[in-house]
Amino acid sequence: MKRLILAAAFSAVAFGPAFAKPMACTTENMAKSTAAMNTMPEGPGKMAIAKSMSKANTEMSKGNMRGACKHYLEAQAAPK
């Protein structure tokens, strides 16, 4: 079941040029995603992405990369 959920997250439709395909969970890619998110127009999609990215940053600051990656995948799968 976990593999199915992970596969669905990786195959989610992208929501912008920087999000054209699911990106690996690295600090550099998270920074690129945050920069791309900042150029998006305001709306519920941007708010959902910002919330997930905030959670990812919090987990990363705690040293929990597994949790950070989980929230990063949520941000990538968020609706536009």
Position of tokens 């990363």?
60
pTM here is 0.67
Q: Which pLDDT does position 20 carry in this prediction?
A: 52
| Domain boundaries along the sequence of the chain | 2-77
> Residue 26 and residue 71: Cα distance in Å, rounded?
12
Q: Decide which of 40 and 3 is more confident.
A: 40
Segment 16-63, tens digit of pLDDT: 444 456 788 888 888 888 898 889 999 998 999 999 999 999 999 999
Q: Which pLDDT does position 23 carry in this prediction?
A: 81
Which tokens hold the place of 19? 């999000």
> Residue 19 and residue 32: Cα distance in Å, rounded?
9
Q: How confident is the model at residue 4 (pLDDT cuts 50, 70, 90)?
A: very low
